[in-house]
Structure 1
Amino acid sequence: MTARPAPPVPSLEPAFEVVVHIGGVDDYGVTRAGHRRVIAITGGRVTGSITGEILTGGADWQLVRPDGTLEIDGRYSARTDAGDLLYLQVAGVRSGEPAVLDALLRGDAVDPSTYYFRTVVTIETAAPHLAHLQRSVFVASCIRDADAVRYTAYRVT
Structure 2
Amino acid sequence: MIKPGLEFVYEAGGALGDPIPIGETADGTRRIIPIFSGPVKGPKIQGELLGNAADWQVTRHDGVTVADAIYALKTDDGVVIQIRNRGVRHGPAEVMQRLIAGEEVDPADYYFRTIPEFIAPIGKYDWLNKSVFVCAGARYANAIKLWVWRVT
Q: TM-score, normalised by structure 2?
A: 0.94
Residue type matched to 2:48 in 1? E
Matches of 2:125 and 2:56 in 1, distance apart?
A: 27
Tell me the residue number matched to 1:80: 75
Q: Which runs of 5+ in 1 are unaligned?
A: 1-5
**Counterpart for residue 18 of structure 2:** 24
**Which of the residues 44, 68, 73 maps onto 2:38?**
44
Distance 1:99 1:66 in 2: 16
Q: Deviations over 1:87-143 (max 9, x none)?
A: 011111000111111111111001111100011111111141100011111101111
- Deviation of 1:54 (Å): 0.8
Count matched residues.
151
Contact 1:84 1:127 (8 Å CA) reproduced: no
Equivalent position to 1:129, from 124, 130, 133: 124
Q: Which one has the largest radius of gyration?
A: 1
Equivalent positions of 1:4-153 (< 5 A) are: 6=1, 8-48=2-42, 49-153=44-148
Q: TM-score, normalised by structure 1?
A: 0.91
Equivalent in the alignment of 1:3: none
- Give, in whole Å, the separation in 2 of the partners of 1:51 and 1:81: 6
CA distance in 1, matches of 2:66, 2:93: 15
Q: How far apart are residue 31 of structure 1 and its match?
A: 2.5
- Asked whether the equivalents of residues 89 and 110 of structure 2 are also in contact (C-alpha less than 8 Å), the reply is yes
Partner Cα separation in structure 2 for residue 113 and residue 17 of structure 1? 17
The code of the aligned residue for 2:138 comes to I
Give the C-alpha shift of residue 67 in structure 1. Answer: 2.1
String of CA shifts for 1:9-45, please: whole Å, max 9, x gaps: 1111111111121111111111244311110011112
Q: Identity over the aligned pairs, expressed in percent?
A: 38
RMSD, matched Cα = 1.2
- Partner of 1:23: helix, strand, or coil? coil
